[in-house]
Amino acid sequence: MTSTDLVAELRAAIEAQSYPEIMTPAQAAEFLGVSEDYLRDHRKAKSGPPYSQPASKIVRYERTDLINWLRRSRIAA
């Protein structure tokens, strides 16, 4: 791991701490840098990050699930 990679990972960890552990779709979209529509479309397609749906109109994302989903989506250069 290069020092640039380490700095990037540390920056991501610090930024992640400013978001709650459980997020609304709006918070999750902001955290990921995508739109709420993007997350909704991926929920429907079952291709996005894991989420919980405690009631029919309530969707929540766990911060660790979002980070893990990003890591699984990495493409080696």
The domain spans of the chain are 3-72
Q: Measured between alpha carbons, how far is 16 from 5 in angstroms, rounded to an integer?
A: 16
Q: What's the pLDDT at 1?
A: 67
Say what the pLDDT of residue 6 is: 76
Q: Cβ(62)–Cβ(52) under 8 Å?
A: yes
Segment 24-59, tens digit of pLDDT: 999 999 999 999 999 999 999 999 999 999 999 999
State the CATH class of domain 3-72.
Answer: mainly alpha
pTM for the model stands at: 0.74
Mean pLDDT (the chain, rounded): 89
